[in-house]
Structure 1
Amino acid sequence: MTTPRTATTFAPPVMEARRWLDGVTFRADRPLINVSQAAPVDPPHPQMRAAMSAAVLEDDDIHLYGPVLGLPALRQTLAQRTTAIYGGAVAPDQVAITSGCNQAFAAAIASLCAEGDEVILPTPWYFNHKMWLDMAGVQAVPLACDDSMLPNVEACAALISDRTRAIALVTPNNPTGQEYPAPLMEAFFDLAQSRGIALIVDETYRDFHLQSGAPHALFTRADWDDTLIHLYSFSKAYRLTGHRVGALITSAARLAEVEKFLDTVAICPSQLGQHAALWGMRNLDQWLAGEREEILLRRAAIAEHFPPFAADGWTLLGLGGYFAYLRHPFALSSADLAPLLVREAGILCLPGTMFHPDGAAAGETELRIAFANLDATGIGEMFARLAKLDLPRR
């Protein structure tokens, strides 16, 4: 009797971490600091919520099935926005709207891979990408990042086999926060193109990139859509996590294959969420710029608080998007440290072991801090609690 793939796939890490809260009581003067999940907890902009309410009441079509690949107006607007950000040319028929960015990744893999094929993932990896590959019967090939949390193109080239179908990059990265430099992205594109494989680029957190302007020039490359599969999420930009609206941009020919997958999974993305995303792109540019500025202020607060910790043996491995990625100095695995932090410091974060292959030594010393819901004062409190830890050192 065979074992179902879900049974051999690890449990969702964020849900597993929440179970560490069971039976723990937090003092009123030391409430829980939850930096485990990279999702905004505040509701959407009030005017967006009003527009959503009006749509529910006044637009009968919003309650019906919509086009499998998404609302034409949203596809067109995202194509225009992508062209404006990156240069090059993106057409509406190269855009699909999905039920969240995770579904966009799943759809991309369904259009690329058969049983036993391979996809290269830099480690530490985004755990949902690894989970989907496992459940799809696709081998995730780990590509270890260097001390700067950047993947190496030459090392990646050595991993490509006749079963490799794609390289998958996340930038700004989840979990490390590292923003991949434009020349590195170009080099990975060149590698993928020369080997006839896809380059999947997940830019869920692109709206919170440190630099202004285009983070890369991949859309300006000739025949970019033969190689590039670009993923995006409206959830972080417009606080629409519960409405599940993401996007996939690639060739129209590949989207014909993607449409088969989407039609059998969800039929169409949430109509309400799509209308909200469209309204946001048309009306909230100034507000989104303010959201980005706030995230950058929180990023700066982490950098400001870190020097004493560096002197005490901690290492800031990556910082960007919603994330700070740390190497701790303690003589215990991060898999044990993270639950202990809940009990001893009132901090819920994820251990590096959740972002590496089983048994990888690097994960034992790493922690991910998702700081999107922690303001500068909260960041200061988190570091103050970490400073009080009295644990054996390596």
Structure 2
Amino acid sequence: MSQLANQYGAINLSQGFPNFPVDEQLLQISERLLRENIHQYTPMAGLPSLLEKIAKLTLLHYQRKINSITEIVVTAGATQGIYTAINTFVNKGEEVIILDPSYDSYEPSVLMAGGVPVRISLNDDYSPDFNRIEAALSTKTKMIIVNNPHNPTGRIWTDAEFEAFELLLEKHPQVLILGDEVYEYISFSHPHISFHTRPKLIDRTIIASSFGKSLHVTGWKVGYLIAPEKLMTEIKNVHQFLVFSVNSLSQHVISDYLDVVDFNAISKMYLQKRDLFRQLIKDSRFELLPCDGTYFQLMSYRNISTHNDVDFSRELVTKHGVAAIPLSVFYKDGTDNKVLRFCFAKTDKTLIAAAEKLNRI
């Protein structure tokens, strides 16, 4: 869709990355450190100062005390972390439950490990369907992936849903959890509930986080995994020969930047953008769906067209000058509910211009 947007000169609200400048403080730190002697390999698991600050960040936001030496690894983006976690623990023929609509890297990572992806659709309101999940769980199940806050829907799990999940997994102690929490610092309607705060699950959970998403530097490709030492030891064995270590400059810069950045301000900034976009669109023919977190807004075009979502998204670019992502591509079975995903991690000017075009449809 980004390529199509470039071809037709459309406003790109499809791919999930910000188009506004990064924090000036981050640039100043980058410029200062660039000329220092920091351009060789860092330790395999990550820059020690960065690992320590990740541990402090986790304690501050989730009241979870973790060992910076034995329970964290810095990865070349969360996607590499997710791939590493899956390929560390999933063996040939073992099953991994994926909740659809889902991020597109999950299934290929499972297939590369020789595993079997088991795709299960969420409910119509994008809440977890625990009856379907329970029916899919078996002795072959090795892992279940939970993305929260959720891309592409923007939904956040409730405490009651976590409790139901905990009861369900008590019956299947062999199942590991991969918690994809890359949008953890972007929540609106209610606070993000992290696996970090679930003592019944934490001993078998690997949590993926992303500085790229949290700090608006997606191109730096820096993320991290947190897991109990017994799991992290095995993860590092794979990480060492897959990446060895993440680029040193980014790690040093982020380490220093964590001393000054306010993660609460990040959520407030995206809340303002969400509310601006929703206000601009509210009188259009599109139907706004709930958005609890992330920087994605789902909109139904059911009142506009009967075309399938792929065709309508192409028409949106070629005829109306705005690019979005059709939701069906996030489903294994191509479920089409006439819904598109729009990214509002854009400048106010971009959002206003896009809304003007959408309101004319």
Paired with 1:292 and 1:94, the residues of 2 have a C-alpha distance of 26
Paired with 1:112 and 1:47, the residues of 2 have a C-alpha distance of 39
Cα drift, residue 269 of structure 1: 1.1
SS at match of 1:127: coil
Matched ranges for 1:293-372 at <5 A:
293-309=268-284, 312=285, 314=287, 316=289, 318=291, 320-329=293-302, 330-358=305-333, 360=334, 362-363=335-336, 365-372=338-345
Paired with 1:292 and 1:326, the residues of 2 have a C-alpha distance of 21
User: 1:89 touches 1:220 (CA, 8 Å); kept in 2?
Assistant: no
Paired with 2:289 and 2:213, the residues of 1 have a C-alpha distance of 24
Paired with 1:307 and 1:43, the residues of 2 have a C-alpha distance of 27
Cα drift, residue 301 of structure 1: 2.6
> 2:23 corresponds to which letter in structure 1?
H
User: 2:19 touches 2:347 (CA, 8 Å); kept in 1?
Assistant: no
SS at match of 1:357: coil
User: 2:179 touches 2:195 (CA, 8 Å); kept in 1?
Assistant: no
User: 2:181 touches 2:194 (CA, 8 Å); kept in 1?
Assistant: no
Q: Residue 38 of structure 1 is aligned with which of 13, 16, 33?
A: 16
SS at match of 1:146: coil
Cα drift, residue 323 of structure 1: 0.5
Cα drift, residue 279 of structure 1: 1.6
Paired with 1:280 and 1:224, the residues of 2 have a C-alpha distance of 31
1:142 correspondence with 2:142: no
SS at match of 1:121: strand
C-alpha spacing 1:252/1:152, structure 2 compared with 1 (3 Å): same
Residue of structure 2 in register with 1:199 after alignment: 177
Q: Residue 127 of structure 1 is aligned with which of 97, 104, 128?
A: 104
Paired with 2:171 and 2:44, the residues of 1 have a C-alpha distance of 32
User: 2:95 touches 2:116 (CA, 8 Å); kept in 1?
Assistant: yes
Paired with 2:234 and 2:210, the residues of 1 have a C-alpha distance of 21
Cα drift, residue 211 of structure 1: 5.5
TM-superposition CA deviations, 1:314-367 (whole Å, max 9, x none): 352545310111222121111111111111111111111220114x3x335221
Moved more, 378-387 or 253-262: 378-387
Matched ranges for 1:234-249 at <5 A:
234-249=211-226
1:164 correspondence with 2:141: yes
Paired with 1:21 and 1:209, the residues of 2 have a C-alpha distance of 28
Paired with 1:103 and 1:51, the residues of 2 have a C-alpha distance of 26
1:72 correspondence with 2:53: no
Residue of structure 1 in register with 2:61 after alignment: 85
Residue of structure 1 in register with 2:157 after alignment: 180
Specify every segment of 5 or more residues in structure 2 that has no aligned partner in the other structure, as ranges: none
Q: CA RMSD in A?
A: 2.3
> 2:256 corresponds to which letter in structure 1?
W
User: 2:72 touches 2:227 (CA, 8 Å); kept in 1?
Assistant: yes
> 2:17 corresponds to which letter in structure 1?
A
Paired with 2:22 and 2:226, the residues of 1 have a C-alpha distance of 25
Residue of structure 1 in register with 2:31 after alignment: 53
C-alpha spacing 1:89/1:153, structure 2 compared with 1 (3 Å): farther
TM-superposition CA deviations, 1:289-316 (whole Å, max 9, x none): 333222101222344345444xx47352
Report the TM-score, using the length of structure 1 for normalisation. Answer: 0.83
SS at match of 1:116: coil
User: 2:212 touches 2:218 (CA, 8 Å); kept in 1?
Assistant: yes
Residue of structure 1 in register with 2:81 after alignment: 104
User: 1:89 touches 1:219 (CA, 8 Å); kept in 2?
Assistant: no
Paired with 2:117 and 2:54, the residues of 1 have a C-alpha distance of 30
User: 2:20 touches 2:347 (CA, 8 Å); kept in 1?
Assistant: no
C-alpha spacing 1:343/1:304, structure 2 compared with 1 (3 Å): same
Q: Residue 255 of structure 1 is aligned with which of 204, 223, 232?
A: 232
Paired with 1:21 and 1:224, the residues of 2 have a C-alpha distance of 42
User: 2:99 touches 2:122 (CA, 8 Å); kept in 1?
Assistant: yes
SS at match of 1:337: helix
User: 2:25 touches 2:257 (CA, 8 Å); kept in 1?
Assistant: no
**Aligned pair count?**
357
Q: Residue 265 of structure 1 is aligned with which of 235, 239, 242?
A: 242
Cα drift, residue 19 of structure 1: 3.1
Paired with 1:388 and 1:319, the residues of 2 have a C-alpha distance of 27
Paired with 1:75 and 1:22, the residues of 2 have a C-alpha distance of 39
C-alpha spacing 1:140/1:56, structure 2 compared with 1 (3 Å): same
Higher helix share: 1
C-alpha spacing 1:190/1:55, structure 2 compared with 1 (3 Å): farther
C-alpha spacing 1:340/1:106, structure 2 compared with 1 (3 Å): same
Report the TM-score, using the length of structure 2 for normalisation. Answer: 0.90
Paired with 1:162 and 1:277, the residues of 2 have a C-alpha distance of 42
Cα drift, residue 64 of structure 1: 1.4
SS at match of 1:232: strand
Specify every segment of 5 or more residues in structure 1 that has no aligned partner in the other structure, as ranges: 1-16, 27-31, 390-394
